[in-house]
Chain A
Amino acid sequence: MLLESVEGTWLRLKALVHRRKLDRDLDDELAFHLAMRAEKYGSGPQARAQAQRQFGNVTRIRETCRELWTFAPLETLWQDLRYACRTLKRTPAFTAVALLSLALGIGANTALFSLVNVMLLRALPVKDPQGLVEFVRATPAGAMMTNLPNPVFEFLRQDRNALADVFAIRESHPALRDGGQVNRVMAHQVSGTFFRSLGVQPLRGRAILPDDDWTGAANRVAVLSYAFWSRRFGQSPSAIGANVRLSGELFTVVGVMPAEFFGVDRSRVPDLWVPLATNPNPGEVWVLGRLRPGVALPRARVVLEPVFHRALEWIWDTADMKQWPEQESRGFMSQRLIVNRATEGTSGVRWSYWEYSSTLKILVGLTILILLIACVNLANLLTSRSAARSREISVRLALGAGRWRLVRQLLTENLLLAFVGGALGLLLAGWGHRILLDFLLSDPLSGAFNYRLDPRVLAFGLALSLATGLLFGLLPAIRATRAGLADALHGAARQTGTAQQPLAKGLVVLQVGLSTVLLIGAGLFARSLRNLDVADLGFARENLLLTDVQTSAKTPQARQQFWTELTRRLGVVPGVRNVALAGDAVFGNGGWNNTVWIRHGGRATQNVHLSENYVSPGFFATAGVPILAGREFSERDRESTPDVTVVNLAFARRFYPGENPIGQRLSGGDRPAAPTEEIVGVVGDAKYGTVREELQPMFFHPLEQAPPLSSCVLHVRAVSNPILLEPAIRREIEAIDGDAVVGEMKTVPQIVHTQLREDRMLATLASFFSLLALALGAIGIYGIVAYRVARRTAEIGIRMALGATQGAVLWLVVRETLILLVCGVAIGVPSALAGARLIRSQLFALSPSDPLALSCATAAVLAAGALAAFLPARRAASAAPLAALQSE
């Protein structure tokens, strides 16, 4: 039996290939039989006719035999597909719209899923990623910080109960000297067990070993990343053993890692790895490790938390934290240790974008909306289309087609649509995925993201296509074949078309509502972006250049000399109006946090935690921050002269309301008893961090009155375009200190542009999606009205023959759609308002119920919908009544 079916299948396969031969052979065989029989009856046409009669239905016999040779289900499927293609080609507009909707909906979702997959779901390319854990501390405020104080690592290292292995990483940005150029690179200082724990073999040479990781190590070793090795050494084997100079110190290259290795954080891929011991003051580190076999996460936490606390206590004792404000130290000591699985690595991106930023969540919301709109659009179009085809379907049913056969055929049509749309969507996703990543990562070059499409993503896309196809395809198919035969044939379907079709109307309303929501969202984002762009920063934007400069001078005197010399020389460069230095820039990190004691005459001394900054003389003039009272720092404020300080307006308002702060005294955190610094000036508020930040109270010290910093931010205000000054500035710096590291030179507009990247992306995407949704909706409405009008042609003809004006007919057709539009908007606006509250934090200087955005969006939806309904209606109304009547 089995053998027979195998034989049969083989023969059938052969027949599949030689289809025409099969047909010819069958014809010949039957023709032969017929001819032989005809011969028996004599010759001539009569004989043949008699033979034919006796033979029977040749075609039927041939079909029966032919069918034996084919794979029946495959044949029907193939038939269905071809029919589906033909049908879809006949209505190109519908097909195009449907495919576009699908491609966008599925494409957007797949791109986003792919992103999530890459960022969150892919395991690290190391040995046994499931066994990796990371250590995180939880502050009382609920923040999760991945950076632990170095002593915690030292204490954890000694544990033998729960940990099989533990390693620490610290990121640094040393200056790499390469010939005449000095550049910043990213290095990860790792403990000796790092490479061993991750278990990845180096491509060349060796990795860092525990032996390399102690302070007295003779040789300072470095391991290169593949990308860095390619860039700097051109993949030459002579890199091993070569020396690199990092911030003045010599390191020997001992190995190169393979291309797919990036450490434990996808978003921060270093150029090289060096031993942690080369850093005398690690400060804070990331700590990861592996648990002993049999130790589960909760148990590990229970065992290691006491260790963590012992470390905290040690820090308390040695760092003399008794000076800290009560609240601070209590907060510090009550931190908890969390142990997490780190299968996908630790991800700066993950922490900042999933937990803290709402951007990703908003994106997810947008793409789901788009998919919904696409499905609704399609369901609507299909329902109308099948209503228009009800005639065809009824005829086919009457001719004897099985109902399920018809359903299967309609379903094949819809699934074909879904899959082609899905395929297009995947193409879109591949392209959009890259753009999304570039937008979301602040520094895409440092990320080890490859843009290859994952099979998981493909599977997701396919599954989505299938689900969508079934969702919007099955129901209309079943409904279509349910139509009563006689009614449909007699054209009663036309009347039911004009009657209420709650499903179709509901879908239109839903679509209009969704489009409204998207449009309002887009409007809000766009306005928020504009507000951000023109926000008042508190300082003068034009012609200001900012650069990080790090001197290689080691002693305080040398450093001081560097800065003085720098200011002097740059001051005389032609085209430079002002030069100033600051420890932290305008648009920097928001200054340092420090404690300050404020003495009020007669009142208790206040102790607050604020931001401070160190600036050079003339800084405020350079930055364009107005001086509101008193003076700013000058050349006369030196180490030897009395300590002075300048505060900003917010400070003055908060701590000296109604009084003049000038002349009052403050003191820094470690000297509460002796308020030594005198306030000599009040300056305007400015933003020292980001465009979005709120204006904080700040106070400033002269650079001269503090230990000279190793790096400062250079502020240069130029007479005209500051970029032109870049070469001159670099030359001057090089002349003073050849080993100094000069960072990228940026103008304020450039920095703002980079900072607003996320907002720009959201606004762009939201606008794009919403316009798309609007276009899709409009086309959908157009199609539906066109179908309806086509079926009502006779009715329109009658009305016009009876004397109705064109305008009245127009109104009749359009009125229905207008009602639907208004309903849709009525649903959309409150939903949008509710949703807008969720994104309130994202909006800058804008109310979630901003009337301008709301009204523009509503107007756009109504206008587009009305136009879409108006066009086919007008065409119908302008048709001659006779022609309309005769159309049936």
Chain B
Amino acid sequence: MGEQQKPGDLVQGTLDMLVLRTLARGAMHGYGIAEFIQTTSNNVLRVEEGALYPALHRLELRGLLASDWGISENNRRAKYYRLTAAGRKHLAVESEHWGRMSAAIALVMNSA
């Protein structure tokens, strides 16, 4: 797996936040989450499976996600994740934090 940070690699905390935000739109399986993030970010953010699934399971163990097994669009068995109340709360906290951070960074980067 990648040792150097390439553009498009996501730090784990950020990945968690993106996953949570994706799932805020509704329950989804792992593949769907990865595709959504990739598509919505105009193919800049590519989520590696080796990072995605451990992240999903970690979030589930922390109680921020809940999982159910269901049938996908093309009639395959798939595991769907959804946000729990705790997950929603965590997402709110994290996105607020991210907002402040990126604004602060932008201020520094755009300074004269």
Do A and B bind? yes
Contacts of A604 in B (CB 8 A): none
| Interface flag for B98 (CB, 8 Å) | no
Cβ-defined contact, A8 with B63, below 8 A = yes
Q: A4-B63, A8-B62, A56-B1 are contacts. A61–B72 as well, Cβ < 8 Å?
A: no
> Bound complex: CA of A57 vs CA of B63, how far in Å?
27
Residue interface mask B59-79, A partner, CB < 8 A = 1: 011111000010010101111
Q: Which A residues fall within an 8 A CB radius of B?
A: 3-4, 7-8, 11-12, 25, 28-30, 32-33, 35-37, 39, 55-57, 60-61, 64-65, 68-69
Contact of B50 among A36, A37, A57, A68 (CB under 8 A): A57
Contact of A11 among B53, B60, B79 (CB under 8 A): B60
Shortest beta-carbon distance from A474 to chain B in Å: 36
B61 with A8: CB separation less than 8 A: yes
Question: Taking each of A3, A30, A61, which has the highest tally of chain B beta carbons within 10 Å of its own beta carbon?
Answer: A61
Would you mind naming 16 contact pairs between A and B with Cβ atoms under 8 Å apart? A4-B86, A7-B62, A12-B61, A28-B77, A28-B79, A29-B78, A30-B53, A32-B77, A33-B31, A33-B34, A33-B49, A37-B31, A39-B74, A57-B50, A69-B57, A69-B61
Asked if A11 and B61 make an inter-chain contact with CB atoms under 8 angstroms apart, the answer reads yes
Q: Across chains A and B, which 4 residue pairs bring their CB atoms closest together, nearest first?
A: A7-B63, A8-B61, A36-B31, A4-B62
Asked whether, in the complex, the Cβ of A61 is within 8 Å of the Cβ of B57, the reply is no
| Chain B residues positioned under 8 Å from A4 (CB to CB) | 62-64, 86
B31 near A68 (CB under 8 angstroms)? no
Q: What's the least CB distance linking A547 to chain B, in Å?
A: 83
Residues A32 and B62 in contact, CB atoms below 8 Å apart: no
Q: Return the chain A residue nearest B48 by Cβ.
A: A56
- The answer to the question of B88 belonging to the interface, with a C-beta cut-off of 8 Å to chain A, is no
Instruction: Report B-chain residues with C-beta under 8 Å of the C-beta of A7.
Output: 61-63
In the bound complex, what is the Cα–Cα distance between A462 and B50 (angstroms)?
46
- Inter-chain contact A64/B50, CB cutoff 8 Å: yes
Q: Would you call B29 and A32 a contact (CB within 8 A)?
A: yes
List 7 additional contacts besides A56-B48, A69-B61; criterion CB under 8 Å: A4-B63, A7-B62, A11-B60, A12-B61, A32-B78, A61-B53, A61-B54
**Chain A residues positioned under 8 Å from B1 (CB to CB):** 56
A271 to chain B, nearest CB (A): 69
State the CA gap A56–B46 with chains docked (Å): 14
Residue of B nearest to A36 (CB): B31
Asked if B100 CB lies within 8 Å of chain A CBs, one says no
| Cα A3 to Cα B84 with chains together (Å) | 14
Check if B76 sits within 8 Å of A32, measured CB to CB: yes
Contact A56 B49 (CB under 8 A): yes
Q: Which of A8, A32, A57, A60 has the most CB of B within 10 A?
A: A32
> Does B30 contact A29, Cβ atoms closer than 8 Å?
yes
A37 (CB) vs chain B CBs: closest residue: B31
Residue contact A65 to B48, C-beta cutoff 8 Å:
no
A43 vs chain B, min Cβ distance (A): 12
Considering the chains assembled together, what is the distance between the CA atoms of A39 and B38 in angstroms?
17
* Closest beta carbon of chain B to A13's beta carbon, Å: 12
Chain B residue with the shortest CB-CB distance to A8: B61
A28 to B30, CA, bound (A): 12
CA of A475 to CA of B112, assembled, Å: 67
Q: Cβ of B49 and Cβ of A68 under 8 Å apart? A: no
Distance in angstroms between the alpha carbons of A120 and B29 in the assembled complex: 70
**Which residues on the A side are within 8 Å of B61 (C-beta)?**
7-8, 11-12, 68-69
Cβ-defined contact, B58 with A29, below 8 A: no
CB distance from B30 to the nearest CB of A (A): 6
A338 to chain B, nearest CB (A): 69
Contact A61 B50 (CB under 8 A): yes
Q: Which residues of A contact B60 (CB under 8 A)?
A: 11
Q: Nearest-CB distance from A11 to chain B (Å)?
A: 6
Q: Measured between C-beta atoms, what is the minimum distance from B59 to chain A in Å?
A: 10
Contact call B58/A3, Cβ cutoff below 8 A: no
Q: How far is the CA of A37 from the CA of B54 in the complex (A)?
A: 19
Q: B76: shortest Cβ distance to chain A, in Å? A: 6
The interface bits of chain B over 1-17 (1 if a CB of A lies within 8 angstroms of the residue's CB, else 0) are 10000000000000000
Measured between beta carbons, the chain A residues less than 8 angstroms from B72 are: 32, 36
* A65 cross-chain contacts in B, Cβ below 8 A: 53-54, 57
Residues of B contacting A61 in the complex (Cβ-Cβ under 8 angstroms):
49-50, 53-54
**Is A68 touching B54 in the complex (CB atoms < 8 A)?**
yes
Among residues of A, the one whose C-beta sits closest to the C-beta of B72 is A32
Chain A residues positioned under 8 Å from B57 (CB to CB) = 65, 68-69
Assess whether B63 is in contact with A3, with CB atoms less than 8 Å apart. yes
Question: Smallest distance from the beta carbon of A712 to chain B beta carbons, Å?
Answer: 89
Q: In the assembled complex, how far is the CB of residue A849 from the closest CB belonging to chain B, in whole angstroms?
A: 74
Q: Are B31 and A32 in contact (CB under 8 A)?
A: yes
Tell me, in angstroms, the Cα distance from A12 to B86 when the chains sit together.
Answer: 19
B48 / chain A contacts, CB cutoff of 8 Å? 56
Least distance between B21 CB and chain A CB atoms (Å): 19
**A35 close to B62 (CB less than 8 A):** no
Q: Which residues of B lie under 8 Å from residue A56 when comparing CB positions?
A: 1, 48-50
A256 to B103, CA, bound (A): 90
Known: A4-B63, A32-B29, A32-B31. A64 touches B79 (CB 8 A): no
CB neighbors of A among B17-54 (8 A): 29-31, 34, 48-50, 53-54
Contact A29 B79, beta carbon cutoff 8 Å: yes
- Report how far A33 CA is from B72 CA in the complex, Å: 11
* A residues near B74, Cβ cutoff 8 Å: 39
How far is A12 from B72 in the complex, measured between Cα atoms in Å?
A: 27
C-alpha spacing A56/B31, complex, angstroms:
14
- Give the residues in chain B near A29, CB-CB below 8 Å: 30, 53, 78-79
Chain A residues near B63 (CB, 8 Å)? 3-4, 7-8
Task: Report chain A residues within 8 Å CB of B69.
Answer: 25
**A11 contacts which chain B residues (CB < 8 A)?**
60-61
Which residues from chain A contact B76 at a C-beta distance below 8 Å? 32, 35-36
CA distance A11 to B59 in the complex (A): 12
Distance between Cα atoms of A267 and B69 in the complex (Å): 71
Q: How far is the CB of B67 from chain A (nearest CB, A)?
A: 9
**A-side contacts of B77, CB under 8 Å:** 28, 32
| Cα–Cα distance between A490 and B76 once the two chains are bound (Å) | 54
Contacts of A12 in B (CB 8 A): 61
A64 to B54, CA, bound (A): 7
CB distance from A750 to the nearest CB of B (A): 76
Complex interface: chain A residues within 8 A of B49 (CB) = 30, 33, 55-56, 61
Q: Which residue of B lies closest to A64 (CB)?
A: B54
Complex Cα distance, B78 from A832, in Å, reads 78
Q: Which residue of B lies closest to A11 (CB)?
A: B61
User: Which A residues lie within 8 Å of B31 (CB)?
Assistant: 32-33, 36-37
